[in-house]
Structure 1
Amino acid sequence: MWGRDEQETLRKLHEWNQPIHRVRGRIEKIFGTWKRSYGLRRMRWRGLAKATAQVHLTAIAYNLKRSLNILAAQLA
């Protein structure tokens, strides 16, 4: 947005982000956990199919752990 009014640019950016910021925050939190706890900073294997498998396995592991935490909280 070079050469444009800064306040107008910030207003447009805020209007764009307002409806999606809650969803984006939840999704980015999950990706951050995957990177921090499950080693998704780098792909382990080469190739799109193998990288896809790695992401799917990470999602399964994350969901299993999350399910156990939710069940444990309900039982306590």
Structure 2
Amino acid sequence: MRVRARIEKIFDTWKRCYGLRRMRWRGLAKAAVQIHLTAIAYNLKRTMNILSVPA
């Protein structure tokens, strides 16, 4: 149950902060690009917080 809670929290952040409630583009390939870009942005922000670099 702990793993699921951790994953659900990430998806919630993506939906709340990065606009993944709806896909920006049509098509599976373009939607995959949007998800990958969101994951990159999330990981960069998380890395900055872990390393405590001011934004």
What TM-score comes out, normalization by structure 2 length? 0.94
Say which structure, 1 or 2, has more relative contact order (CA 8 Å, 6+ apart): 2
Runs of 4+ in structure 1 deviating by more than 4 angstroms, as ranges, are: none
Structure number with greater Rg is 1
Deviations 1:14-54 (A, max 9, x none): xxxxxxx1000000000000000000000000000000000
Identity value in percent: 79
What TM-score comes out, normalization by structure 1 length? 0.68
| Paired residue total | 53
Alpha-carbon RMSD: 1.0
What residue ranges of structure 1 are gaps of 5+ in the alignment? 1-20
- Partner of residue 39, structure 1: 19
